[in-house]
Structure 1
């Protein structure tokens, strides 16, 4: 069964950040996010379960780059599979790093820190 996903990236930093999201097939371009703004996109996961999206993040003089969607992290940290239910991965960008969860919940409940700046 295929999964239909929506991935969100929320900025929780008072300064604007820039995000550039890509996959092997799609370039979603650059987006500047002010505090509390988000970037999101939806897709149907490949039958091979090899769907991969990655992103470059820029905040003042800091930059980083990592995968924002892959089969391993989506199954571990994002919404579990349920018949006919769309799944979500939600990234929270904070001054101390990057957190992944199933939904927007009050910090830190439901969030796992996966990356530093």
Structure 2
């Protein structure tokens, strides 16, 4: 198993609410102010079938999508290294949702994956 941490940062001036779940875990609702983050760690299964999804709420807008799966993490998150936690960073902005390997200043290193 490999250790993994996923971060979701709010890049919107208004608060947003995030509700993260997997089949086995409900991490509940969390309201994030500008620049605050929700993060959680877990061990990726040998089968690479770990899946977390999230509901996002911002004023009257909502979005729902997978925030962690093996395929997306291999493409957009940090590479696996021995004895190091692998990290994925989501950035929520007014125009959509971005994923990156590092918490870089926007827009360097970020890839937009979803719209509101």
Say yes or no: TM over 0.5: yes
Number of aligned positions between the proteins:
116
C-alpha separation in 1, matches of 2:81 and 2:47: 19
C-alpha separation in 1, matches of 2:67 and 2:75: 13
Segments of 5+ residues of structure 1 without an aligned counterpart are: none
C-alpha separation in 2, matches of 1:111 and 1:62: 22
Give the TM-score taking structure 2 as reference length. 0.98
Give the TM-score taking structure 1 as reference length. 0.98
2:115 corresponds in structure 1 to 116
1:81 corresponds in structure 2 to 80
Residue correspondence of structure 1 range 5-24 to structure 2 within 5 A: 5-24=4-23
C-alpha separation in 2, matches of 1:100 and 1:64: 15
2:62 corresponds in structure 1 to 63
Segments of 5+ residues of structure 2 without an aligned counterpart are: none
Q: How many angstroms does 1:103 deviate by?
A: 1.3
